[in-house]
Structure 1
Amino acid sequence: MYPTNSHEISPSELEARLRLHRLPELGPKRFRLLIDAFGSASKAISAPASAWRALGLPASSAEARRSHEIRDGASAALAWLARPAQYLLMWDQPDYPALLAQIDDAPPLLFVAGDPSILEKPQLAMVGSRRASRPGMDTAAAFSRSLASAGFVITSGLAMGIDGAAHQAALDVGGQTIGVLGTGLENFYPQRHRRLAAAMIAQGSAVVSEFPLDAPPKAGNFPRRNRIISGLSLGVLVVEASMASGSLITAKLAAEQGREVYAIPGSIHHPGAKGCHQLIREGAVLVETIEHILEGLRGWQALSRPTPMPVTHPLVALLHAAPHTSEGLAIASGRSLSQVLAALTELELEGLVTCESGRWLARRPLL
């Protein structure tokens, strides 16, 4: 279904837009050029090929517009939109995401599975390596849980590694999250995250794509996808990234779009930290706690305060009694060291504990 305000778009115009959207070599700027030149997609579809050539459009696009393949693809998209919780947002309609509309090459059409209203909520993008380390995954999950609990929608690319950890952690605390695909929604990639995407849709989150529903995974689609991740968001947090990571593309696009760029530092010996360190040298905000992100977003004061974990947390109670090392806490609490380290990461993000000279101390909650 398409949004309720789309009564302004007639069925024939919608079908024409879906046909234009499938044409080869017709990106967002050329799509808008056609609408501006002819006044509507319907008129553009029926215009003579010479008029298309006069606009400098490729012959392949003009020739394909009336093909059975293009018509059948548009018909399939209309059938898809007739099913529950499946939507199409259009760049000239009121419910198109306002932040995304600000970028130069905003997608003219955006397919949405799930709840489209969350695309207007304050979002923070979290991106990073597909081959992330276990500490990197844990850090991504901890930040995502805290940010989602603070009221932010977590936006990422549904890739393996950091992206998946961020999406799942947001769901784990009852938060909302948006996955932006580099394929069509009916040709999901990576397949290993199909179940995660289904859970996101079922729990009131959303999966979106600018590509035709059956678009396959192509290398060039993923950098294009990244501009939507950053374009939807107030800022982008890079958790772990090598110098060759696509996450640096997202960060670069975010900076060009006037969004905040945040990066978590790591060991100078870890290749997965080098991309984050490069971003910090270029002006990204160095992030060690959630407060380093929230202090730059005070305009969202009502949403920006995290919900503190209760001081009755057993580890906090132990630390109020006396400082402990991580190993000492594991012994005193009867938990495994890995469980203790994961809990301490979250407690530190919430400002309830701090580590000094290898020993953990309790702190007062942030006010």
Structure 2
Amino acid sequence: MTQEEIWLRLAAIRGLRNKNRITVAHGLPADCRLTASLLQQCGLTQEQAHSFLHIPSQTLAAALSWLAEPGNQMLTIDDPAYPFLLTQIADPPPILFIAGKVSVLETPQISIVGSRQCSAYGEFWGNYFAGGLVHCGYTITSGLALGIDGIAHQAALDTEGHTIAVLGCGLAHTHPRRHQRLRAQIIERGGAIISELLPSEPAMPVHFPRRNRIISGLSRGTLVVEASLRSGSLITARCALEQGREVFALPGALGTDFSAGTHWLIQQGAYLVTEPKDIAEVVGSGLQWLPAGAEGDEKDSPRIVNGSQQELNICAQDSEVELPFADVLANVGYEVTPVDVVAERAGQPVPDVVVKLLDLELAGWIAAVSGGYVRTRRAGHVRRTNVLV
């Protein structure tokens, strides 16, 4: 059994955690006869081992047939071409199915998400921001859904940029069907369509919240253009926060359901943006973080990558970017926050919090004002605690 078939069979097992799929795949030898006993030794339950050995033949045949088509590929998490940023999230997909250009996955990305039933205001500004971010050097990533997603993809293409669509179904399907032409254009113009699901897997409601973590995980920041308080876009924003990525929100008219979700995000600490350059300035146009284990001879000097883009790669040691007392800073707002409130939110004694606040003030993160402290600098990996999205 080939390593490719092992990954495909593991992907077909229901109820198996991604972390366990990776562990089992690493423990199974390729090109040998796999038995239920060997599978259980590698960590599968008896039921899971049975599922692995008895995967429906049509499911496996459909996956292999799809992979045999020109332009279709499968990346495992061990592959050097697997996007680095995606490996840094808590639950990276063990495999990615890709239709289109694989190398686009390593370009700097901003995800743009929003309501499926957007207003004319959302359509205009979705176009504006997607096109502007392309001019800033970013690839636009979204979910190919109706509304803001489709608008962002199309705007990226119209400005001769690249775009990536992450689907909540297998790549043998297109969801929604009316975006089949848009899907084809994305591939034709150097973009990619990706999914963690087997190609034959249909679109199901349970798939879309999990697909959102991939949209945000590929991206350096997520922009929410329009969203109600119950919008799935807020799930993508929550995923971005959990992954330590920046969240941006577009303000809208007061009193409209279309902007209720974005206004709520702004109240919780998301960046309010009015221009694409606002996002580029925060995220850092053209800067890429290398893995900490980058090659020794190159770690002290800048490198030029990706040909014409000439992106400067910077690798910083953890000690250089570590934030002091993040648990305290996360509870100091941009409004005046009294010391006792910070202590209560952080769950720490007031005397201990006072010492930490002083250090944060000396480091320039906060400022002492009448009545308490205020935040003076933003940190993408710091958010107020006890806030649910």
Relative distance call for 1:51 and 1:16 in structure 2 (3 A) is: closer
Given candidates 122, 129, 141, the residue that maps to 1:136 is 122
- 1:273-312 superposed Cα distances (whole Å, 9 cap, x missing partner): 11111111111100111121111123526799xxxxxxxx
1:65 and 2:55 matched: no
Once residues 284 and 77 of structure 2 are traced to their aligned partners in structure 1, the CA distance between those partners, rounded to angstroms, is: 29
Residue 203 of structure 1: how far off its partner (Å): 1.2
Residue 61 of structure 1: how far off its partner (Å): 2.4
Given candidates 2, 9, 20, the residue that maps to 2:10 is 20
Within a 5 Å distance, the mapping from 1:224-235 to structure 2 comes to 224-235=210-221
Residue 81 of structure 1: how far off its partner (Å): 1.7
Relative distance call for 1:164 and 1:299 in structure 2 (3 A) is: closer
Relative distance call for 1:127 and 1:277 in structure 2 (3 A) is: same
Name 1:46's counterpart in structure 2.
Answer: 34
Residue 52 of structure 1: how far off its partner (Å): 2.6
Name 2:355's counterpart in structure 1.
Answer: none
Once residues 177 and 81 of structure 1 are traced to their aligned partners in structure 2, the CA distance between those partners, rounded to angstroms, is: 22
Once residues 174 and 54 of structure 1 are traced to their aligned partners in structure 2, the CA distance between those partners, rounded to angstroms, is: 48
Once residues 28 and 5 of structure 2 are traced to their aligned partners in structure 1, the CA distance between those partners, rounded to angstroms, is: 15
Given candidates 210, 223, 243, the residue that maps to 2:229 is 243
Given candidates 194, 199, 210, the residue that maps to 2:185 is 199
Given candidates 90, 93, 99, the residue that maps to 1:107 is 93
Deviates more, 1:238-247 or 1:293-302: 293-302
Name 1:89's counterpart in structure 2.
Answer: 75
Residue 234 of structure 1: how far off its partner (Å): 0.4
Name 2:141's counterpart in structure 1.
Answer: 155
Deviates more, 1:60-69 or 1:188-197: 60-69
Given candidates 130, 150, 154, the residue that maps to 1:164 is 150
* Unpaired segments ≥5 residues, structure 2: 288-308, 312-389
Q: Conserved in 1, the CA contact under 8 Å of 2:28 and 2:42? A: no
Relative distance call for 1:231 and 1:77 in structure 2 (3 A) is: same
SS at match of 1:110: strand
Name 1:340's counterpart in structure 2.
Answer: none
Name 2:252's counterpart in structure 1.
Answer: 266
Name 1:353's counterpart in structure 2.
Answer: none
Greater per-residue helix proportion: 1
Residue 59 of structure 1: how far off its partner (Å): 4.5
Given candidates 23, 30, 33, the residue that maps to 2:23 is 33
| Matching residue's letter, 1:191 | R
1:184 and 2:174 matched: no
Deviates more, 1:204-213 or 1:295-304: 295-304
Residue 126 of structure 1: how far off its partner (Å): 0.1
Once residues 210 and 30 of structure 2 are traced to their aligned partners in structure 1, the CA distance between those partners, rounded to angstroms, is: 23
TM-score normalised by length of structure 2: 0.70
Once residues 267 and 303 of structure 1 are traced to their aligned partners in structure 2, the CA distance between those partners, rounded to angstroms, is: 40
Once residues 296 and 134 of structure 1 are traced to their aligned partners in structure 2, the CA distance between those partners, rounded to angstroms, is: 27
Residue 130 of structure 1: how far off its partner (Å): 0.6
Relative distance call for 1:268 and 1:109 in structure 2 (3 A) is: same
Relative distance call for 1:127 and 1:274 in structure 2 (3 A) is: same
Once residues 132 and 252 of structure 1 are traced to their aligned partners in structure 2, the CA distance between those partners, rounded to angstroms, is: 20
* Unpaired segments ≥5 residues, structure 1: 1-10, 305-367
What number of residue pairs does the alignment pair up?
290
Residue 171 of structure 1: how far off its partner (Å): 0.4
SS at match of 1:300: coil
Within a 5 Å distance, the mapping from 1:115-134 to structure 2 comes to 115-134=101-120
TM-score normalised by length of structure 1: 0.74
Once residues 29 and 208 of structure 2 are traced to their aligned partners in structure 1, the CA distance between those partners, rounded to angstroms, is: 29
Q: Conserved in 2, the CA contact under 8 Å of 1:20 and 1:41? A: no
Q: Conserved in 2, the CA contact under 8 Å of 1:24 and 1:60? A: no
Within a 5 Å distance, the mapping from 1:1-12 to structure 2 comes to 12=2
Given candidates 251, 257, 260, the residue that maps to 2:243 is 257
| Matching residue's letter, 1:270 | T
Q: Conserved in 2, the CA contact under 8 Å of 1:125 and 1:156? A: yes
Once residues 124 and 103 of structure 1 are traced to their aligned partners in structure 2, the CA distance between those partners, rounded to angstroms, is: 16
Relative distance call for 1:220 and 1:153 in structure 2 (3 A) is: same
Residue 174 of structure 1: how far off its partner (Å): 0.7
Q: Conserved in 2, the CA contact under 8 Å of 1:19 and 1:73? A: no
Once residues 53 and 117 of structure 1 are traced to their aligned partners in structure 2, the CA distance between those partners, rounded to angstroms, is: 37
- 1:102-124 superposed Cα distances (whole Å, 9 cap, x missing partner): 11211111000010100000000
1:279 and 2:269 matched: no
Q: Conserved in 1, the CA contact under 8 Å of 2:36 and 2:50? A: no
Once residues 82 and 272 of structure 1 are traced to their aligned partners in structure 2, the CA distance between those partners, rounded to angstroms, is: 43
RMSD: 2.1
